[in-house]
Structure 1
Amino acid sequence: MATTIREVASAAGVSVSTVSRAFTAPEQVQQKTRQRILEAATKLGYAPNPAARSLRGGGTGTLGLIIPDIANPFFPPIVKAMQARARRLGYTVLVTDSDEREADELEAIAAVSKRVDGLVLWASTLTEDRLRELADQMPLVVVNRHVPGIPEVRISLSAGIAQAVEHLRAYGHRRCVFINASRDELSRGKSIHESFEAQDISFVELGPYEPRFETGVLAATLVAAHGATAVLAHNDLVGLGVLHQMASLGVSVPGDVSVIGIDDTLLASVSTPSLTTIRIDPEEVATRAADLLLETIAGHADRRTGAAGNAEDTPFAEIGSRLVPRASTGPAPTR
């Protein structure tokens, strides 16, 4: 019987995730720890090479990635970075788009599930029960979605939002609109409300809408009705829609209204004015998602050999955020 990753972890006195990182992301493991893991793996005859494991286990050597909207400029850099990470580890990546609809996501899963060794689902539209059923059938990692017992990559906006609120308060803003384009299970509204209230900035939420450019165009016309001097958009696409419509209405940005997006896409830096935004590092997200999926694939292989782990050991990775100030924010107007 082949040696499992859990046996290596036990012999080296570390966690399964540490063993996985020792082979997939050695720069994240201390040299002494990695050496101990390598010695244990050699002694037990563990083969970490993903291509070799794929051949022995009848795998495909392919990882699946299902994203909400491939037209959103936030996702192409993530796809590229995940492909680069997977290639380094001996895998290829199969990418498809769910268009933020449950029926399309189910169709995409059905189309790719037999062709990949595991799946990364970004902001899945599926219910928790469906996701758990899928996780029982194949290695699964979710991004921007929390389901107990399923490995996840968490994107924390806390630091970036806090910096954005401090940025606006320093400029004298006291009334802000948040354009919400999140589904209920993904809503950012509560944490954002708390951040603004902590800085004594009045806060109004519009939506939820769809996370698209057109949403920003629509919502921009409502901002003035609330007397807001600042706008926080769900993402850069929505923020760019706000900039476009403000220009059409003759509203100065940032003279009359300051605008902040979320993601830090390429378009944010080349818009007019350039868009202040909260940056999420696409390379870090993609790398951690790929590494976590490979760890999950190894865990599934262990369960097939009877070496099941505990639900409490469900691995996760957390990605931070930070504010990138640009020309779309400035002092609040004097009224």
Structure 2
Amino acid sequence: MAVTIREVASAAGVSVSTVSRVYTAPDQVQAQTLRRVLDAADRLGYTPNPAARSLRGGRTGSLGLIIPDIANPFFPPIVKAMQARARRQGYTVLAADTDERESDESETIAAVSKQVDGLILWASTLGEERLRDLAERIPLVLVNRHVPGLPELRVSLGAGIAQAAEHLRAYGHTRCAFVDCSRPEMERGKAIREAFEPHGLSLVELGPYEPRFETGLHAATLVASGQATAVVAHNDLVALGVLHQLAQLGVRVPGDVSVIGIDDTLLAATSTPSLTTIRISADEIATQAADLLVDTIAGRGSGRLVEIGSRLVPRASTGPAPR
């Protein structure tokens, strides 16, 4: 039998109306009381009824998360962690992907926005005016996409890229390649080049391509025929394609070429060789994005910028430059 709101109120020592406010207007509840109610709800396994809540307050009790590609192993842990975070605040998460296409993103937004109280858009391909129009109709948080005045969660690769440059230079590398799968406004290649040059590392940019495993296969062939002794890939998925194709070509990693990814997905630690990568915390992204959207729904997130950092995780795919 489902746990009722009255049972939560009794276990927490508060009124039923207080429990209701915890899930519908948490900003109106004292922090100590809020924590006591949420802890009681967790112990009892209580889940708010989104349908009833919608009828009472005109809300759905759901948050929308629209990501570029659910097949990318970087995103499932984020979805899982965001579900856990949202649940503690009385929400569920509805996730959908756009397959990296602007037309699919527009259609997905139109369908999902009818079923949620707010949206998180990851690296949106939509124009600035369309995003502003959307933000006037529904609470909106952008991830890795800047539109002045709109709430944004930004993943900063600065620290991780700088550590990667120091790491490669310490191993004696001077000629590097970057497999670029970013859109022009992301300027990831420029950021890597500016971090590498002070360390005496030249950078050849390959692409831009789509951020897929197959891209790594293609790029690895170009790397093998060139002079670069180290490769930085747009993400782990592309880096795994590089590793696979280099092995097929008889190129030793890291004996002949060192490889670095970005994201630190589960596959990075289990690949052969294990992949050196720039780590971005899925839990931190999920927590901060969910909190920012809930604040935006409550009218407290306007124009806020939250930044997430990164760091290098050295593994077996990097080593001394060949002599």
TM-score (norm 2): 0.83
Q: Aligned partners of 2:83 and 2:195: how far apart in 1?
A: 36
Aligned residues of 2:70 and 2:76 also touching (Cα < 8 A): yes
Aligned residues of 1:50 and 1:91 also touching (Cα < 8 A): no
Aligned residues of 1:50 and 1:89 also touching (Cα < 8 A): no
Structure 2 residues without counterparts, runs of 5 or longer: 1-25, 36-47
Aligned to 1:318: 307
Aligned to 1:217: 217
Aligned to 1:194: 194
Root mean square deviation, CA, Å: 2.3
Q: Aligned partners of 2:238 and 2:123: how far apart in 1?
A: 17
Aligned to 1:43: none
Structure 1 segments (4+ residues) deviating >4 Å: 49-56
Aligned residues of 2:141 and 2:289 also touching (Cα < 8 A): yes
Aligned residues of 1:292 and 1:316 also touching (Cα < 8 A): no
Q: Which amino acid aligns with 1:223?
A: V
Q: Aligned partners of 1:316 and 1:294: how far apart in 2?
A: 14
Structure 1 residues without counterparts, runs of 5 or longer: 1-22, 27-32, 39-48, 301-308
Aligned to 2:141: 141
Cα distance, 1:54 vs structure 2: 5.5
Q: Aligned partners of 1:236 and 1:128: how far apart in 2?
A: 29
- Kindly provide the CA deviation profile for residues 257-287 of structure 1, in whole angstroms up to 9, marking residues without a partner as x: 0000000000111100000000000010011
Aligned to 2:179: 179
- Matched length: 284
Q: Aligned partners of 1:158 and 1:53: how far apart in 2?
A: 42
Map 1:267-286 to 2 at 5 A: 267-286=267-286
Cα distance, 1:140 vs structure 2: 0.3
Aligned residues of 2:157 and 2:309 also touching (Cα < 8 A): yes
TM-score (norm 1): 0.80
Aligned residues of 1:61 and 1:117 also touching (Cα < 8 A): yes
Q: Aligned partners of 2:56 and 2:176: how far apart in 1?
A: 57
Percent identity over paired residues = 73
Aligned to 2:227: 227
Aligned to 1:60: 60
Aligned to 1:125: 125
Q: Which amino acid aligns with 1:120?
A: I
Q: Aligned partners of 1:186 and 1:122: how far apart in 2?
A: 13
Aligned residues of 2:53 and 2:60 also touching (Cα < 8 A): no
Aligned residues of 1:178 and 1:234 also touching (Cα < 8 A): yes
Counterpart of 1:103 in 2: which secondary structure?
helix
Aligned to 1:299: 299
